[in-house]
Structure 1
Amino acid sequence: MQGKPLVMLLAVLYGSAFLAGFNENLVNMALLSIMGEYGVDSITAQWLVTGYMIVATVVVTCMAFFYRRFKLRTLFFSASALSFAGSILGLFAPNFMLLLIARLIQAVGTGIFIPMMMNTILAVTPKNKLGTFMSIGSCMITFGPAFAPVACGGIVTALGWHNVFLVPAIAMALLAVLGFFFIKNLDTSPAHLDMPSVALSSVGLFTLSFGLAELTANTLVALASLAAAVLCIVVFILRQLRCAHPLIDLAPAKSITFWPTLVLVTITMMSTFSMSVLLPLYFEGALGTTAFLAGVIMLAPVLANTFITLLGGRIMDKRGEWPL
């Protein structure tokens, strides 16, 4: 694939990844308003973000199977339908539980969109330009969370927090129309999904997040949850090393050069996503700023990150070594 078909295919996938990233921070600027309307505390409200990330992560771990098993158009339109349905449910959610369900439905779409974009880039782009195309994809994932606080902060300030769900609903509808014309199927191959591994990863992520969230509120429950998380993670790793069809290929972890990057990326992502929740609460709650101003303040560091990402992609193309 090359020329205009390739450009348009990638443009739709880039747009979908941008929207997936946008949805990650969709409600961050509205957390105070949600807490006030539904009468929930900050620990409960943050599950709109944490729960979203857990579900998205579990889906991402399954994408190696989905990408090989299902055609690209099937994956794209399934993710589009889930993202749109979650946005509409969030727009009209009358209580916190339905709002949380809406976020979890959106998260499934996000878990499909981002690895689908990355896998398609690997499959259809020239290898000597892979760094550039991958860095653009990374920028879309970064731009989404960066612009969500600004756009949603303005919407919350001017129109009320429910209306933040209008943005992804309209954008997803437009992308689905474009996808009908420009998303083309790629080859599929036999694949197997190890359900025990899916269950272990899901329970491990939930108990880890729950334990960390409850650490200051209920120490004994938190420690028990963290112990369960460690147990699930250990069993998950052992199963990946022994089962015939592992959910995640842990072969790269055997290389000593893999670990420094993994640790740095983990620390970076933990800092990014924790600050995306805590800073809006601080700016709006403690400093008394508007949701829009808080979003503008949070935009600056992400734009700096985007610039470095693009630069890194160019360096990768220039100095990277690609097998023939």
Structure 2
Amino acid sequence: MAALFVAGFVGLFSETALNIALGKLGQLFNADATTIQWLATGYFLTLGILVPVTGILMQKFTTRQMFMTSILLLIIGTIFATAAPVFGVLLAGRIIQAAGLAINLPLTQNVIFTVFPPNKRGGAMGVMGLVILAGPALGPTIAGLLLDTLSWHWIFLVTIPLLLFSFIFGLVYLPNVNEVRKVSIDAGSVILSTIGFGGIVYGVSVSGDLGWTSPTVMGTTIIGLIALLIFGIRQTKMEIPMLNLKAFRYPLFILGMLMSFITFFNMMSMLVILPMYMQMALLIAAFTTGLILLPGSLLNCALAPTIGRLFDKFGPKAIITPGTILVAIGYAIYSQVGSDTALWVIVITHVVMMLGIGAVLANVQTNTLNSLPKQFYPDGIALTQTLQQVSGAIGIAVLVSVLSAKQNSYLATVANDSTQAAAAGSSTVFTISLILAVVNVALSLFIKKPMN
């Protein structure tokens, strides 16, 4: 598990760490904002395309084969990115990194659900929840420190020792835990899945630059939705589908997917919007912003395994419902922010919110997958992981667009004050997130421990 968790941490750290350096990289590589944004968009896009395919790959190849492929892709991608002389090589490195993470995340969940009995999975998934939150949350803080003291290359260099540890540890200790079956990969399904998930993730990712009414955004999103519809129909008619959609026959699985969508939609957008609010409305430096968000992130990391064990002991509703309430309280406070909000309010609210997210995130996933029979685990994992990446990408794109629109509206109709405009935009975004968080509280009341 250590080998898988460390590799996953590096992949998720890389997902957000480079965001803080995009402006600097744009100057160094002489690339405009839209081009340089591809370092983030390309990462999301690769995950959206490849994660759905891993469900079938985990049935076709051994655990060790999948792990070694994952870790080698992460190492090669990191080396490419570190040594990149031109933008194209850096982008290629990012895409190779994302391909490694796209294999690692579903594989880690599959190993947990194969190795651990149902009454111990909460603790194991709690540690995975730590990894899922710690990587993206610590990325901007550590990257900000490295940028201030060294150079952008170190954002990648610091992860190489961790990846080498993971490689050696996995080589020595990781057994084959999955049952390999003779399954063929249906080319038509792969193409439809790629167009479907890729089209949606690309469409929403570029919407911030091009606008939601842009022919490119509307066209790629509609094509993606049509491809997904055809993909779904095709899966139901195949004897051995690439992604078994029979998982949706289980009501608890559908409930968990809805809650996961809302959680990741809100969480990934908050990781972008909250630092933007602090830098634009409160005029705080990037590294200081990272430090302000650090207590909540560290507390969440420290408590994640304990929360997982409490889930095993007391069941889902006792942990998940209070977690959703804490998240809603956090957004209720954030929805009232202005350009003069005290920093201690931001810090304490972030701590409350991260505790809530820690109670919801991994435990909803555990309960969602526990509701499936064992033979559906690879498909269920591929579906939940794909949903996370797609909902995260949609959340960032939609709420950044709302923030921008509200800012522009404020500047045009109320006052020419950029800090007030940023505060007004952030408050609107957090109000939308609050509504979704309240929906999650209501959904959590229907959650229960699966019978199987």
Q: Shorter-chain TM-score: which interval?
A: 0.7 to 0.9
- Residue identity in the other structure for 1:250: L
1:157 corresponds, among 148, 169, 188, to: 148
In structure 2, distance between residues paired with 1:156 and 1:177: 29
Of 164-173 and 33-42, more deviation after overlay is shown by 33-42
Q: Note the alpha carbon deviations across 1:148-195, whole angstroms, 9 max, x for none.
A: 222111111111212211022221112212222212223532133222
- Residue identity in the other structure for 1:217: L
- 2:89 is aligned with 1:98: yes
Match of 1:248 in 2: 243
- Residue identity in the other structure for 1:18: F
- Residue identity in the other structure for 2:210: A
Superposed displacement of residue 308, structure 1: 7.3
In structure 2, distance between residues paired with 1:278 and 1:48: 18
1:19 corresponds, among 10, 19, 40, to: 10
- 2:20 is aligned with 1:29: yes
- 2:127 is aligned with 1:108: no
1:228 corresponds, among 219, 223, 227, to: 223
Higher-RCO chain (CA-CA 8 Å, sequence separation at least 6): 1
| 3-state SS, counterpart of residue 184 of structure 1 | coil
Match of 1:6 in 2: none
Q: Judging changes above 3 Å, is the alpha-carbon distance between structure 1 residues 258 and 77 closer, same or farther for their aligned structure 2 residues?
A: closer
Q: Give ranges in structure 1 of 5+ residues lacking alignment.
A: 1-9
In structure 1, distance between residues paired with 2:177 and 2:279: 46
Q: Note the alpha carbon deviations across 1:217-265, whole angstroms, 9 max, x for none.
A: 2612222222212211211221222222222222232344444432332
- 2:199 is aligned with 1:204: no
> Which has the higher Rg, Structure 1 or Structure 2?
2
Q: Note the alpha carbon deviations across 1:27-79, whole angstroms, 9 max, x for none.
A: 11211111222233333323222221221233322222222222222222221
Aligned identity (percent) is: 29
Query: Where do residues 44-193 of structure 1 align in structure 2 (5 Å cutoff)?
Result: 44-190=35-181, 191-193=183-185
Superposed displacement of residue 208, structure 1: 1.6
Superposed displacement of residue 288, structure 1: 6.0
- 2:210 is aligned with 1:217: yes
Q: Judging changes above 3 Å, is the alpha-carbon distance between structure 1 residues 130 and 209 closer, same or farther for their aligned structure 2 residues?
A: closer
In structure 2, distance between residues paired with 1:143 and 1:150: 11
Match of 1:270 in 2: 265
Superposed displacement of residue 310, structure 1: 4.3
Tell me the TM-score normalized by structure 2.
0.63
- Residue identity in the other structure for 1:89: F
Q: Does the Cα contact within 8 Å between 1:56 and 1:110 map onto a contact in 2?
A: yes
Q: Does the Cα contact within 8 Å between 1:30 and 1:291 map onto a contact in 2?
A: no
Aligned residues: 315
In structure 2, distance between residues paired with 1:158 and 1:34: 16
Q: Does the Cα contact within 8 Å between 1:29 and 1:152 map onto a contact in 2?
A: yes
Q: Does the Cα contact within 8 Å between 1:28 and 1:276 map onto a contact in 2?
A: no
In structure 1, distance between residues paired with 2:12 and 2:46: 14
In structure 2, distance between residues paired with 1:289 and 1:39: 27
2:289 corresponds, among 286, 289, 294, to: 294
In structure 1, distance between residues paired with 2:30 and 2:269: 22
Q: Judging changes above 3 Å, is the alpha-carbon distance between structure 1 residues 268 and 289 closer, same or farther for their aligned structure 2 residues?
A: same
Q: Judging changes above 3 Å, is the alpha-carbon distance between structure 1 residues 302 and 269 closer, same or farther for their aligned structure 2 residues?
A: farther
Of 112-121 and 63-72, more deviation after overlay is shown by 63-72
Superposed displacement of residue 293, structure 1: 2.2
Of 66-75 and 113-122, more deviation after overlay is shown by 66-75
Q: Judging changes above 3 Å, is the alpha-carbon distance between structure 1 residues 158 and 62 closer, same or farther for their aligned structure 2 residues?
A: same
Q: Judging changes above 3 Å, is the alpha-carbon distance between structure 1 residues 165 and 15 closer, same or farther for their aligned structure 2 residues?
A: same
Q: Does the Cα contact within 8 Å between 2:252 and 2:450 map onto a contact in 1?
A: no
Of 92-101 and 272-281, more deviation after overlay is shown by 272-281
In structure 1, distance between residues paired with 2:75 and 2:129: 23
In structure 1, distance between residues paired with 2:118 and 2:71: 29
Superposed displacement of residue 280, structure 1: 5.2
- Residue identity in the other structure for 1:276: L
Of 292-301 and 222-231, more deviation after overlay is shown by 292-301
In structure 2, distance between residues paired with 1:69 and 1:156: 42
- Residue identity in the other structure for 2:262: I
Q: Does the Cα contact within 8 Å between 1:29 and 1:280 map onto a contact in 2?
A: no
Q: Give ranges in structure 2 of 5+ residues lacking alignment.
A: 316-448
